[in-house]
Structure 1
Amino acid sequence: MGQIKKIIKNIIPNSAQKKLRIINSKYSKVKLNKTFDPIISELKSTKNQKRIILIGTAIYGNIGDHAISIAGTKFIKKEFPNVNLIEIPISLYEYKSDIINRNINQHDLIIINGGGYLGTLWETGQEISNSIIINNPNNRIIIFPQTMYYKEDSENLIKEHKKIIADHPNVSLIVRDKKSYDFVSEKEFEFKKVILTPDIVTYIDGNKYKNNKNKIIFVLRKDHEKVDYKKDIEELKSHFIELGYEEDDFEYTDSVVEGYYNLYNRDALVEEYLKMIGQASFVISDRLHGMILAAICGIPVIALDNVSNKVYGAYEWFSSFDYVLYFKDKNIYQKIDEINESKSSYNYDSSKFANKHQEIKKLVELEYNDLKI
């Protein structure tokens, strides 16, 4: 198969190859969406019931976003075991938003999946959030833990997004970092309620995946959120070599893989990734969930920030965890040495965030209980 791909690559012009990739991508999405027909059937058959509709869960190959989707559904199912939850993956909403919106009633509580897409970093996520809010003007809506970030000179876009919120009386927002929380206040977004909690993935306990194999795992971005840490990475590598690690002990990865995943096969994807992370002595990451997934496994992790500062925003929640470090901390190398020398086994304690998880529960409970059939 590899040889066939090479031959095709050599004989077909780049422009044609690009068109073929687009066609294949569209075909794969359409084919995959057929597997979601039962969701549409359930949405229609339970239309007269009181429900929570979770919209926008991941289908692409971002493992961190799948962890968000898993944590969000786990949270709702555990905290509200008697509630009828229907999950709408993001591409299903993109392709069938008309059908979905027609089958949502006023007694449905809509929860928009968490992530880092509010603002200008990831336009598709913001557009889908806008669509859900605009097309469901009579529903109570909660946006699960988010980062909000706008690039410079985005005042017109901020104004547009503010109006969408102002025109809907029942949209509440959960933000996962103080910078976003302050931004919402500073720009005077008129959300019904705004609360500050850590990322929803902190609800997951990953201690069982810890299986140290003396590896240094680098989880590094390749997209437009990346900051140039090339020099810093080389310094870190040199320091670990001084501590006795060898070049073969370094492993490089990203938390993005090829292909489409969904609520039917995502658990295995995330579990395999957690097992890989669990083999590390240290994880170094500029991805928010590179840091968080290491932290919930009790693996020492060094966080590097990204362009929107969301990694640092998440690190602030973990700053009291001895094994979670921020690269720009004072005495960072001394802290690395202390962890390395201690050979301690760390355990993630999710109870440290229990009061914040309860704030999310109270908000969902308040909105859901006020719904009338």
Structure 2
Amino acid sequence: MKSELKRLLQLIVIFFKAFFTFKKKVWLFSVPSHPNLGDQAQLMCTEKWIKENYNGYKIIEMEHLLSPFPHFNMKVLALNVDFWQHIILKMVIRKDDVFIGHSGYFFVDHHGGWYSYDYLLRYWTNKFIILPQTVNFYAPVVKQRVSKDFGNKRNLTLLCRDEVSYNNARGMLGTTNLLLYPDIVTSLIGTREYKSLRNGILFCMRDDIEAFYSPADIDGLMQRFGNIRKEKIDTTLHISEKEMKLHRDRLINTMIEKISTFEVVITDRYHGTIFSAIASTPVVVINSADHKLSSGVKWFPKEFGLNVQFASNLEEAFQKVSSILKRKEHLDNPPYFKENYWDKLFERLL
């Protein structure tokens, strides 16, 4: 009941923000509230990109949306927050408003995030840009629905964040505009300089169903490096959503600064990889449970040298990290993704 009341109050705030303005609006949907620094860094960079490219537009952010109509009969619609959400959005969205879908791992069977974008496509025809997604549907019935609802949409551009996702989408979505694009957090690579004294190995490891290696496997790898400075962290923090919202930018920047104090990072986190590249700290990437890491590493061109490497198993990871520790040289990463992708996206959407 508390969560429903909270959502209703948020809708009232959104109504007043959107209704009483003469500005065009950018609607940013499916924004994260949970304390995952990778997702929050995507939001931070997305807000920055919108402000740079939609000057004068009012930005309105919403979390995941659900359509009320398949699930509720008319007798109970009036008591349903999703119904009032639909009514309010119909009142305040104008035809020249722009929709932007937050990046993520939404286009997969077990994640409900793509339902939000499906709902928006069903009831509005506004220009719609969905930022980089991993596309990995596997159930035929889900693929059929996605193909029907997202395919051949003239108002939609879907950015795919690796070649596997791009090819998966191309096989389902017909004439819908698809772009192969890196994660938006890569726009920060090469834009910052860190002068930290670097020492030791940082393990940035996930602890969820997407982990490929067990905690015992990782602990065993850590022990092989002996008495060198070592630390294990995750990009998901154990803090409240309120604290995340209040201190988001500081928490993200603190994490990247911490990474800049290590000689090398081992990670199975995609944003652990990107944060390391922002800090120009060499990173060895190991597998997660799907193609996201092995495909994501392919984005990094020869300009990054040995600063971003993939290891197909833990023995290879050990050898690559050992080689980096012996090398004792430092290479600052270039702003490759900013200059070649994110500075050019807006003109590619015109």
Give TM-score scaled by structure 1 length: 0.78
Residue of 314, 326, 333 corresponding to 1:348: 333
Which amino acid in 2 is paired with 1:295? Answer: A
Indicate conservation of the 8 Å contact 1:216/1:251, yes or no.
Answer: yes
Is 1:157 aligned to residue 134 of structure 2?
no
Distance 1:217 1:327, change over 3 A: same
Cα deviation digits, residues 136-185 of structure 1 (max 9, x gap): 2x21111011111124xx01011011111137431110111000011112
Q: Percent identity?
A: 25
Determine if the alignment matches structure 1 residue 130 to structure 2 residue 118.
yes
CA contact (8 A) 1:121 1:149 kept: no
Q: How does 1:86-165 map to 2 (within 5 A)?
A: 86-90=59-63, 97-98=85-86, 99-123=88-112, 125-136=113-124, 138-151=125-138, 154-165=139-150
Is 1:237–2:211 an aligned residue pair? Answer: no
On the 8 A contact 2:182/2:337 being kept in 1, the answer is: no
CA distance in 1, matches of 2:147, 2:192: 41
One-letter code aligned to 2:32 = A
Q: Distance in 1 between matches of 2:147 and 2:263?
A: 45
Are residues 215 and 135 of structure 1, via their aligned partners in 2, closer, same or farther at CA, if it must alter by over 3 Å?
A: farther
Q: Which amino acid aligns with 2:123?
A: N
Q: Distance in 2 between matches of 1:214 and 1:363?
A: 42
Alignment-mate amino acid for residue 251 of structure 1: E
- Does residue 255 (structure 1) correspond to residue 235 (structure 2)? The answer is yes
Q: Is residue 197 of structure 2 the alignment partner of residue 224 of structure 1?
A: no
For residue 164 of structure 1, give the secondary structure of its aligned residue in structure 2.
helix
* Aligned residue runs from structure 1 range 9-20, under 5 A: none
User: Counterpart of 1:20?
Assistant: none
Residue 102 of structure 1, CA deviation: 3.1
> Quick one: distance in 1 between partners of 2:163 and 2:262?
30
| Structure 2 CA distance for partners of 1:166 and 1:318, relative to 1, 3 Å | closer
Distance 1:37 1:273 in 2: 35
Deviates more, 1:315-324 or 1:109-118: 315-324
In structure 2, the residue corresponding to 1:174 is in which secondary structure?
strand
Deviations 1:38-82 (A, max 9, x none): 544221122x533322222211111110011111111122234x2
Give the total of aligned pairs. 328
Mark the CA change 1:97 to 1:290 in structure 2 (over 3 Å): closer, same or farther.
farther
The answer as to 2:22 corresponding to 1:44 is no
Contact persistence 2:23–2:56 (CA under 8 A):
no
**2:50 maps to 1:76:** yes
| Cα shift at 1:232 | 5.2
Paired amino acid for 1:259: S
Q: More displaced, 193-202 or 254-263?
A: 254-263
In 2, distance between residues paired with 1:332 and 1:359?
Answer: 35
- Which sits farther off after the overlay, 329-338 or 277-286? 329-338
- Structure 1 residues 84 and 327, CA gap change in structure 2 (3 angstroms): same
**Structure 1 stretches of at least 4 aligned residues deviating more than 4 Å after TM superposition:** 29-39, 91-96, 229-232, 261-264, 329-334
Q: Which of these residues, 196, 200, 214, is aligned with residue 211 of structure 1?
A: 196
**Contact kept? 1:285, 1:304, Cα under 8 Å:** yes
Q: Secondary structure at the match of 2:159?
A: strand
Among 320, 323, 329, the residue aligned to 2:307: 323
Relative to structure 1, is the Cα distance of residues 140 and 252 closer, same or farther in structure 2, using a 3 angstrom cutoff? Answer: same
* Structure 1 gap segments, 5+ residues each: 1-22, 367-373
Q: Which residue of 2 aligns with 1:338?
A: 323
**Tell me, what secondary structure is at the counterpart of 2:225?**
helix
Q: 1:192 to 1:150 in 2, by over 3 A?
A: closer
Contact 1:59 / 1:89 at 8 angstroms: preserved in 2? no
Counterparts of 1:291-306 in structure 2 under 5 Å? 291-306=273-288
Q: Relative to structure 1, is the Cα distance of residues 203 and 236 closer, same or farther in structure 2, using a 3 angstrom cutoff?
A: same
Alignment partners' CA distance in 2, 1:165 and 1:121: 18
CA apart distance, 1:33:
8.0
CA distance in 1, matches of 2:137, 2:158: 17
Q: Which sections of structure 2, spanning at least 5 residues, go unmatched? A: 67-80
Taking a change above 3 Å as real, the CA distance of residues 344 and 207 of structure 1, as seen in their structure-2 partners, is: farther
Offset of 1:291 from its aligned partner?
Answer: 1.0
TM-superposed CA distance for 1:92, in Å, is: 8.2
**Residue of structure 1 aligned with 2:151, choices 166, 184, 189:** 166
Distance change (3 Å), C-alpha of 1:326 and 1:260 = same
